[in-house]
Amino acid sequence: MPIPTEPIGSVPRPENLRDGIAELAAGTLDPADYELLVDQAVADTIKRMQATGSPVLTDGEQGKPSFVGYPLHGVAGLAPDGAVIPFADGHTRQLPRLTEGPFRYGAHAATYLVAAQRHTGHPVKQAVIAPSALSLLYPADGIEGYPREEFLADLADESEQDIRRCLDAGAASVQLDFTEGRLSLKLDPSGGLLRSFVELNNTVLDRFSAAERARLGVHTCPGGDQDSVHSLDVDYAELLPELLTLNVGSFYLQLASEPDPARVLRVVAEHSRDDQRIFVGVTDPIDPRVETAEEVRDRVLQAASYLPVERLGTCDDCGFAPFADDASTSRDTAFAKIEARVRGTQLAADQLGV
């Protein structure tokens, strides 16, 4: 496809897998049986995504407890009372709090990638959590004998290994999820927290070669969980100039749910570099209505009026179920939206003559 199009990551888990997650947590399901449920869900996700015509696939994050929590599987020294993320509808998600060091990942994203590759010969991308998100695990009052600077150094090493293992395993691309970027401006309107996040992420990204960074991308959105968001009310223009200083080849930007996409595109056109590909969101996972291919086409054409088509790509605004228990969107709806994105991107490419 002349205009590349990629999924962001998560797809709603089937009901039997969601039930299995609860049973595993309750100790009533054998771990081997749970792994079988995950593998079946991954196989079905790959098959259905491939049927949409998507040139790049993901495993839909079927085996992840959440897009942010997978590295914490089996990690000791965590308390449940960490940072709280409030959503617009009133529900919250809470991160754990680190209580001791040194910090090490308990699981790496390459494990999910390799499991997905067993089910297809098509290109598979892999989402990883940005180190900036995991920096929120460290408590404000510190940890005795484990200063924040030492934690951040350990975190950078772990994040580098998480990304590098995916590249070495043959990921078509590796996407860093940076949904806390826009949220940081809500927590700190001065932009100091955002700048510290970008600095930490670039500390990791700068360890990769230019060729490797061309396979890396960053996704940002105002959050998307249970049909709600955490920071859509934050002005995108306050985020994008800083975001676009991240040293990656691609950016995956939520746009379909943005109230004034033209304004956002003007900011992107002003601040992005010639060597950066911009994947614009053309489907809104929170909207229960499935976009038509023609609507997607028109969104792509609008983006092409601001950005050179050779630097343009399309994506979904965000994942459809970033937390494993999110059943607000059906699998059928998710795959219908993915198919609309693929078909609409092709219609736009045809009209643009590329």
Q: How many other CB atoms are found less than 10 A from the CB of residue 66?
A: 20
- pLDDT above 80 (res 227): no
Please report the pLDDT score of residue 309 as a whole number.
97
Output the CA torsion sign for 305, 123, 326, 335.
positive
Q: How many other CB atoms are found less than 10 A from the CB of residue 329?
A: 22
pTM of the model: 0.94
Please report the pLDDT score of residue 66 as a whole number.
86
Among 105-109, 244-248, 324-328, the minimum mean pLDDT is found in 324-328
Structural domains of the chain, ranges and CATH numbers in brackets: 5-352 (3.20.20.210)
Write out pLDDT tens, residues 85-135: 888 888 888 899 999 999 999 999 999 999 999 999 999 999 999 999 999
Nearest to 231 by CA among 180, 177, 287, 178: 180
Residues 6+ apart with CB under 8 A from 292: 340, 344
Q: Average model confidence (pLDDT) for the chain? A: 94
- pLDDT above 60 (res 1): no
Percent of the chain surpassing pLDDT 70: 100
339: left (phi over 0), alpha (psi -120 to 50) or beta: alpha
Spatial separation of the C-alpha atoms in residues 317 and 55, rounded to whole Å: 18
User: What is residue 321's three-state secondary structure?
Assistant: coil
Question: Please, what is the end-to-end C-alpha distance for the chain in angstroms?
Answer: 9
User: What is residue 126's three-state secondary structure?
Assistant: strand
pLDDT band of 172, cuts 50, 70, 90 = very high
Spatial separation of the C-alpha atoms in residues 53 and 125, rounded to whole Å: 15
Spatial separation of the C-alpha atoms in residues 273 and 66, rounded to whole Å: 32
Residue type, 63: G
Q: HSE-up of 213 (CA within 13 Å, CB side)?
A: 16
Q: How many other CB atoms are found less than 10 A from the CB of residue 312?
A: 23
Write out pLDDT tens, residues 13-72: 999 999 999 999 899 999 999 999 999 999 999 999 999 999 999 999 999 988 888 999
Strands 84-86 vs 92-94: parallel, antiparallel or unpaired: antiparallel
Nearest-Å Rg of the Cα atoms of the chain is: 19
